Structure 1
Amino acid sequence: MIAALQPAASRPPTAPITSLRLFGPEDEPWIDELLDLVEQSLGEPWRVLLERIEDAALRRSPTQVAAILGALRRVTGGRDERARVARKLRGKVLGHPALDRDARDARIACAAAELGLEPADVEGLLWADLARERPVVLPRGRPAARTLVGFANVDRIQRCMRRASSIELRVWSESTALVRTGARCGLIVVVSRAGSHDGDGPTLLQVTGPLALFHATTVYGRALGALVPLLADHARFTLDIHGDFPGGPRTLRVEPPVLLPPVPLPRSKSPSLIERLARDLERAGCGVEREPPPIACGAHVLYPDAAVVHRGVRMLVEVIGFSTHAYLAEKRARYAAVGQPVVLCVDSTRAAPSSASDGGAKGKNEVTSAVLRFCRRIDAAALMTMIEGLPGQDCS
């Protein structure tokens, strides 16, 4: 899923570079004051907490306070569960009028028993899916101010990236997790290495930004944000976000020291596209090597998702998310340049209308690549048929 195309929109040579203002240790004292107010408001609606914050004069801008409150909501979680309970309660409690106290209490007690709640909690949960009406809770106790700083910084960086035309990320340590995450999210990324071959130079990820696309920019922007939490594992990096921000075109730069939450542990999830494809191919008798080694193509690096052996022929497979015609052409040209036959599996729901040329790309007078379109799931049988028609590497 890693693109081999220069981003569609890059930073103008004269665009100024500005360090993105993030939260740091100096913000922790006033965040602790805010958390004191949160503890005073436990069990009360959020609107009560917001009124107390307004009266407290924390000497910070409303934007900064809102960012930390957003981080607090993210840490406490439970939004989906509250919404589910609130909807069920309204369906059971509201309806024909309860004209006396006994009828009212009986209806509340019945609803509470059905949902496993205490009757005293029902009224507070009736509208808990509304932001200002849900109760203030700290299910895991009071979070550390530094924890909120980390989550607020992640959110601020992600918001800026959603307004970018292009992004450049340089990392000086192992970059495979970043590259593979970008691939799974379907991002348009160019991977290259700078400096000496002994690993001293950085790995550069050039990412097309949402504003350089003409479709599904919101979906792409959310996918782009998946890279940010992984930066916590890198002691040295430079993230340049190029775009037209308030005040004109400029580059927002992020580099250490930056307070970020620890990289989250992998969660169990449904199989990815390539995992489902590998399973289908193995059932059909094919050999599958997942995530084969990267392939150098000059200064650039190609990251195939799998190597498939079918009837003694080895073929690389790479899954492409968002794409353009130029992107696919350049990708195939690089595989051809290094003599590696490949099938590019292209998500037809994310491909731009101009990505219509699926004919074979040639290397050394032979067709060495092809495009297989898919929607939701890659057809293993169609892939095997395509492999049979291409001159892959003989493994017999």
Structure 2
Amino acid sequence: MLPSELARFRIYGDVIYPSFAGEREVELVKEMIPFYKVGITYGEVEENVKLMERMYGKTTQGAKLVRGLHRVISRYLTLSGESPVDPRKIREELFAKGPALTPEERERRLREVSERLGVDAERFMFGDMDESKVISRVEIPPPEDIVKEYNLSLLQTILFRSYKVTLTTEGNWKELLRTVKRLGLMYTAYSNPVRIEVMGPYTLLKPSEKYGRNLAILVPYVIGTGGWSIEAEIILGKRKRRVYQMKVSNNEWIGGRPEQGKLFDSSVEEDFYWNFRGTIKDWKLEREPGPLVVNGRIFLPDFLAIKDEIRVYLEVVGFWTEEYLREKVKKLQGTQALVIPIVSEELGSGKIGDLPVITFKRKIDPTKVYRVLREIEQSLPTKKVEYELDGSDVISIKELAMKYGISENLLRKNLREFPGYVLLKNYYVSQKLMEQLSRENFSGRKLQEVVKERGDFITEVLDKLGYKIKWINIADAVITK
């Protein structure tokens, strides 16, 4: 972004038009690039830029343009000349006895302080200021790219004063929506036609610099999608604020790569995912299950919790206001999809009150989420499962669940008796086989031999027939009556 005082735009009625640079400004950049040379101080560059500002400064807009381009070009400079001693300490030593009234006094103080601190006091006394630093590397891209990046910065600066921003794209809207979420921005997405409304910094009671910076980071992702459009409500004025409309779309003179490594910190979601999987065993947790359309609005949950036929979506909310949360909860209620917002107490503005959300501060507590999932599970009626036995003498409940494509836990909730079968803990065994086994005498035999001969189910049959298992050691056991 640029400093707010460098924002260039024109207003006609209720519409604001950013003063983007173009082909003509490419020539201006070409004139400025020779200012930036290795070996000169940044202060010398500033002097040249001030001269250029006066040349183009017949209007305030012209001076702002030069200064804005200078800010963009400066991003591609490497400055060196850091003082080995804190420059504030050097200045404190030099001026401790008041002003030096003669050249001789000045030279004496510089020499004494230099010797005492072991540093060139005159060279480094203002070493903490960019003007005193020396340009050690220049890697300026082509002038056309500088102009495009300037326009991107100008658009970001104006959007910092937005109340609402509406995004449309002909490109990958799902990835764009994921980026909105990763930045923690407040949003509402619509399915027909697909568009994303992002709340601007001026939605908050007090505009947040961090929120505005995250919105600025989003902009290059938007213009990189193809067939894009940005519409915004812009708030201008200090004492008397007024809302203006702005629309920018498919401008080939806006460019710039997204900032790498600046997305919203996802370690909260990452930690929760692994902590949940490590502590909760009866629910399965999936990441990024895909978009969910509820009442014409698109939600992008972060997780899907699954148990049997129950599916509960979990969405981690970044920044929020009380109004935004209430609206989100209202839209989710009364639908078949179960979506639970997980809300950071530290990124909000307003009160959560009695809203049905899960809150957290630094980390999401998996046991807190689990309690809510259990409450949902207990409130839902158990699904009825119809199944039949295939006539085999021994039928495993686990294999029966696999045959019908359901979880073993759900099948166990629906277990029932069948004529001609005895229901044990993990098996159905035919009465015919049970009668045959009841006539045999297993007393005194080794358990391992009987299991090898009959199968694993025999241990439950023996228990049903009244036999006991006597363990001789950790590996050997004997059947007793």
TM-score normalised per structure 2: 0.63
Deviates more, 1:270-279 or 1:375-384: 270-279
1:29 pairs with 2:24: no
Of 204, 218, 239, which residue of structure 1 is paired with 2:195? Answer: 204
- Alignment match, 1:48: 44
- Which structure has more relative contact order (CA 8 Å, sep 6+)? It is 1
Distance 1:130 1:321, change over 3 A: same
1:255 pairs with 2:249: yes
* Post-superposition CA distance 1:108-158 (Å, at most 9, x none): 7x56xxxxxxx8xx8655534324x24252635333223322332222112
SS in 1 for 2:150: helix
Distance 1:95 1:159, change over 3 A: closer
- 1:107 CA drift (Å): 6.1
d(CA) in 2 for partners of 1:104, 1:62: 41
Of 314, 320, 324, which residue of structure 1 is paired with 2:321? Answer: 324
- Alignment match, 1:239: 230
Is the contact made by 1:181 and 1:226 (CA closer than 8 Å) also made in structure 2? Answer: no
Of 202, 205, 215, which residue of structure 2 is paired with 1:224? Answer: 215
- 1:264 CA drift (Å): 4.5
1:63 pairs with 2:64: yes
TM-score normalised per structure 1: 0.75
- 1:34 CA drift (Å): 0.9
- Alignment match, 2:186: 188
Distance 1:105 1:184, change over 3 A: same
Distance 1:338 1:30, change over 3 A: same
- 1:104 CA drift (Å): 6.2
SS in 1 for 2:312: strand
Is the contact made by 2:190 and 2:297 (CA closer than 8 Å) also made in structure 1? Answer: yes
* Post-superposition CA distance 1:196-254 (Å, at most 9, x none): xxxxxxx3111222222214533322222121121231221111121233695321222
* Post-superposition CA distance 1:263-298 (Å, at most 9, x none): 345579964321121121122245332111101124
- 1:94 CA drift (Å): 6.5
d(CA) in 1 for partners of 2:48, 2:28: 14
1:127 pairs with 2:113: no
SS in 2 for 1:55: helix
Deviates more, 1:134-143 or 1:383-392: 134-143
- Alignment match, 1:11: none
Distance 1:273 1:25, change over 3 A: farther
Distance 1:29 1:123, change over 3 A: farther
1:43-122 paired onto structure 2 within 5 Å: 43-56=39-52, 58-59=55-56, 61-76=62-77, 85-86=82-83, 88-90=85-87
- Alignment match, 2:273: 278
SS in 1 for 2:56: coil
d(CA) in 2 for partners of 1:354, 1:204: 29
d(CA) in 1 for partners of 2:122, 2:369: 57
- 1:191 CA drift (Å): 0.6
RMSD across aligned positions (CA): 3.5
Distance 1:382 1:182, change over 3 A: same
Letter matched to residue 292 of structure 2: I
Distance 1:136 1:249, change over 3 A: farther
1:38 pairs with 2:39: no
Distance 1:231 1:58, change over 3 A: farther
SS in 2 for 1:390: helix
Structure 1: gaps (5+ residues): 1-13, 112-118, 196-202, 359-369
- Alignment match, 2:475: none
SS in 2 for 1:71: helix
Letter matched to residue 343 of structure 2: V
Sequence identity percentage = 18
Is the contact made by 1:347 and 1:373 (CA closer than 8 Å) also made in structure 2? Answer: yes
Is the contact made by 1:87 and 1:126 (CA closer than 8 Å) also made in structure 2? Answer: no
Deviates more, 1:65-74 or 1:49-58: 49-58
Distance 1:100 1:298, change over 3 A: closer
- 1:328 CA drift (Å): 2.4
- 1:48 CA drift (Å): 2.3
- 1:376 CA drift (Å): 2.1
